[in-house]
Amino acid sequence: MIITRKIGFALLGILLLAGCSIIEKKEDNPYVRVQDYTGKEYRLPNGDKKDKIAEASKEKVITGTKEFFLKKYKTKVKVNNIVGNKDGASVYVESVGEPHFHTFAVIPIDTQENVRPEGIWTQEGEVEGSIKSGIYALIHEEKLNRLDNYLKAFVKKHPVIGLREEAYENTSSTGYTTPYYYITIPRDSLEPFLNQYLENPETVKEEYEAKAQSLLADPKEFRIVIELFMKEKQEPDQKVFDELIADMEEMENLPPGYYTIILNDNFISKEEGYGKKDNTLMRRNPNYIIKN
C-alpha cells in the first residue's frame, strides 16, 4: 500500500511537472507590446555563442568599431548594440552629429574565440546608403519637419504609436530613422553628396542645399517608410489607416520620394524587431504614394 502510494505521488509529480512545462510553453510568447520593446531582446540566427564572446570583449568591439568608422568613413559613431551572429558580431551604431543616420558593421570572431577588429567589414553600400539618407534628411529638413509635426499630431489624435527610441537605436540600420519613419536610398543617387561628405565631413547643411538646387531629383530614388503600431492590443484599424493614407495623398510640400505606409497591431517580435504580420495593413509597391 505504501509502495503504491509512493508510486502514485511520483506519477502525480511527473504530471504536475509536465503540466507546468506545457503552461510555460504556452506562455512563451515571441511577441511583446511595442510600448515595452527596447530592442535589447534582438537576436540574429546562430549568434548566441558569439554574442557571449563579444560581450566579454565589449570594450575591444566598441573601440574597434569607432576606429573603423572614423578611418574609412570619417565619421564619429556611438555604439548602441552588439549582437552575435554566426561568424562574429553585428555592431549597431549611429552617427554623432550631422548628417545623422543609423547603420551597422560586422566584427569577426575567429575559431579560437578571438575578436578581430582588424577584419571589421560592412555590407556593400550599406553605410554609404545610410550616409546618403542622413544627407537627404539635412537637405529636406524643413519639409521633414512638416512630416514630423503631422505624424506627432496624428498619433495624439488616434490610438496609434511609433517605436521607442531605444528600439530603433538597438536594431536599426535604416539610415535616417525616427520613431515613425525611416528613409532609404536604394539607387546610386546622391553620389556627389556622398563624395563631398567623404572629402569633408564638416560640410554644412547650406552647402548640401546649394548643391541640391542644381540637381533634378527623381522621386523613385528615395523611399520614405512610415510605420505605426496600434496603441492597444487590437487588430490594425482600417479607418485609421485609410485616414492616414488620405492625409498623405493630400499633403503638399513634403520631401520627394516614394512613400510606403504600414500599420501593425500592437505587437512586435522580440528577437526579430519586426512588426509586420499577416494582419498588417500596407500601402506599398507598386502602389506607392509619390511626392515630387
Residue 18 confidence (pLDDT) above 50: no
Q: Say what the pTM is.
A: 0.88
Give me the pLDDT at residue 215, please: 73
Residue 42 confidence (pLDDT) above 60: yes
* pLDDT tens-digit readout, 162-190: 999 999 999 999 999 999 999 999 778 89
* Confidence at 21, pLDDT banded by 50, 70, 90: very low
* Confidence at 17, pLDDT banded by 50, 70, 90: very low
Residue 28 confidence (pLDDT) above 90: no
* Confidence at 216, pLDDT banded by 50, 70, 90: low
Residue type (1 letter), 40:
K
Give me the pLDDT at residue 218, please: 86
* pLDDT tens-digit readout, 193-209: 999 999 999 999 999 99
Contacts of 223 (CB under 8 A, 6+ apart): 183, 184, 185, 186, 257, 258, 259, 260
Overall average pLDDT of the 2-11 stretch: 43
* pLDDT tens-digit readout, 51-85: 999 999 999 999 999 999 999 999 999 999 999 99
* Confidence at 24, pLDDT banded by 50, 70, 90: very low
* Confidence at 135, pLDDT banded by 50, 70, 90: very high
What percent of the chain stands above pLDDT 90?
Answer: 85
Residue 44 confidence (pLDDT) above 90: yes
Domain regions of the chain by residue span: 48-123, 128-291
